[in-house]
Amino acid sequence: MTTNYPPNSGEPDQNQPGFGPNPEYGQQPGFGPGQPNYGPSQQPGYGAPASGQTPYGQPSAPRPGSEQPQYGEPGQYGQQGQQPQYGEPNQYGQPGPAGQLPYGQQPQYGQQPQQPQYGQSPYGGGQQPPGSGGGKSKLPFIIGGGALALVIVVVLIVVAVVNSGGDTDEATGSTGGGATKPAEAQKPSDAVKGYLQALADGKADTALGYVDDQPSDKTFLTDEVLQASNKAAPLTAINVPDVAESSYASVNASYKLGDQAINATFTVTKSGDKYTLSEGYADVDLSYQTKGLPITINGVKATADKVYLFPGSYQIDTSQKYIDLGSGADFVVKDPSDYPDVQLKPALDSDGQAMFQKKVTAAINACVASHKLKAGCGLDVASTVQGYKIKENSVKRTMDASDKSQVKNIKGELSYDAPTVAEADSFYANVSTTVTATKSGRSSKVSYYGEGNSFDDPSIDLTDPNLTVTWS
């Protein structure tokens, strides 16, 4: 049944049912004759505004004595939600005029409603009127309305807590483990600015938050490595012109790494509401440079030949004693698409050269001084030659001035195949050898010529704690 608004009279519709026949479908029964008044101001039946009430959908001034707020007005901040005293009329379950809240004021988020006094309904339900059973049939509706109001309050509180927590996280921009949560980039250029600033601040995880493709190995994508880079060559003078929103954009940027000016172009894509860089780190293959050398990059040990590096300044070093990697060990990654010019030239350092010369010279002198057939160093004499038997401990070896000079100036170099092995560079020296030989019962001293008159190639494995000289 449809009721026209506004009605022709300020009086309630005479056809509005009281406690009598069931109302037609869609109508809320009013509180008819014999029903006690509920509250300071009696509510009109549903569908008929009270006298002086404005048409449906338009706000109206409250009636005298009524404490109900206008529709949409919450309680003021700091006020507790008022629970009715026992026996007070309860507004819950009573339909109000159009534009007024049927459930009264709700407490604001963060405030607890006052507990009802002993005997009061927890939902603010008023005392039930005596009378017909029709009044009792209203109880489920009244309690249901109170429960619904409580559910609405709880839902609003939960939503407020969730929203408040989210706002706090976004404001602080922090995540666990000391990492900084990257701000949401509103434009492609914002993503590049945030990424470069994170690098400048030494915040590796924040920088990776702006990168779409995450690396399988983050050994060198850390704060420690970035801070070493910034110490050697700070990333400064960041300039990224604004680029309007789009699903795909190329963003130009300029910055400095130390004194070196860099101009780079970053590809930025949009996934959902998030802008990310397609590339955020460079792939650097060191396999042909290090070849098994134990190395560190900005002080961090490398365990793989292929490494991932942010734009920055890097220094490759080795933990192997006596080896220097040369000036090419210092390099710069200009941008994520860069192929840095890494020119490692492993060589014995000055201490390594001194050690090698000392060790090899001592070994040569010991071999030359030996009277045994097998002296080592490649100076071995056969025990029988052309029917002559060579007497043990009869061998005498000498070197001329030219050969002694070769030994004195011996230098080492690292093996191409085994970079931790030092070997002699272009070393060649001969010895003169005499032996006592016996044939047919007759012994005599004779000169000995053969392979035992020249040295083999000396080498030292630098990983050997004893640094033993071997000959091959």
Mean per-residue pLDDT for 153-163?
39
**Are 122 and 18 within one domain?**
yes
Q: Residue 450 has what pLDDT?
A: 80
CA distances from 146 to 41, 141, 468 (A): 20, 9, 92
Q: Same structural domain for residues 400 and 324?
A: no
Residue 376 lies in a domain: yes
Closest CA to 403 of 381, 421, 377: 377
Greater confidence, 235 or 16?
Answer: 235
Confidence of residue 452 (pLDDT cuts 50, 70, 90): confident
Q: Is residue 336 part of a domain?
A: yes
Percent of the chain clearing pLDDT 90 (strictly above): 46
- 193 & 332 share domain: yes
Spatial separation of the C-alpha atoms in residues 205 and 199, rounded to whole Å: 10
User: Which has more confidence, 88 or 290?
Assistant: 290
What letter does residue 380 receive in the DSSP assignment?
B
Give percent above pLDDT 70 in the chain: 61
CB-CB contact of 208 with 214 (8 Å):
yes
My answer on whether 377 and 301 are in the same domain is: no
Same-domain status, 294 and 222: yes
Decide: 458 and 377 in contact? Cβ < 8 Å: yes
Query: 192 with 334, same domain?
Result: yes
Across the chain, mean pLDDT equals 73
Residue 144 has pLDDT above 90, yes or no: no
Closest among 28, 32, 49, 23 to 129, alpha carbons compared: 32
Structural domain contains residue 149: no
Judge whether 169 lies within some domain. Answer: no
In a domain? residue 29: yes
Q: What is the mean pLDDT of residues 50-74?
A: 41
More confident residue, 54 or 411: 411
Do 96 and 122 reside in the same domain of the chain? yes
Domain boundary among 310, 343, 376: 343
Residue 335 has pLDDT above 50, yes or no: yes
Whether residues 206 and 327 share a domain: the answer is yes
Q: For residue 320, is pLDDT > 90?
A: yes
Task: Return the minimum-mean-pLDDT range out of 76-80, 394-398, 408-412, 419-423.
Answer: 76-80
Which are the contacts of 250, defined by CB distance < 8 A and separation ≥ 6? Answer: 265, 266, 267, 268
Do 202 and 331 reside in the same domain of the chain?
yes
Does one domain contain both 360 and 300? no
Whether the bond between 6 and the residue before it is cis, its omega within 30 degrees of 0, is: yes
**Rounded Cα gap, residues 382 and 112, in angstroms:** 106
Do residues 212 and 320 share a domain? yes
Report yes or no on 142 lying in a domain: no
Q: How many CA atoms lie within 13 A of 17 on its CB side?
A: 13
Tell me, what's the pLDDT at 182? 61
Of 135, 151, 173, the residue that ends a domain is 135
Q: What is the pLDDT of residue 190?
A: 94
One domain, residues 205 and 326: yes
The answer on pLDDT for 279 being more than 50 is yes
Classify each residue of 330-356 as buried b or exposed e, where b means 16 or more C-beta atoms within 10 Å of its C-beta. Answer: bbbbbbbebeeebebebbbeeebbebb
| Domain count for the chain | 3
Whether 268 maps to a domain, the answer reads yes
Rounded mean pLDDT, 284-307: 88
Containing structural domain, residue 75: 1-135
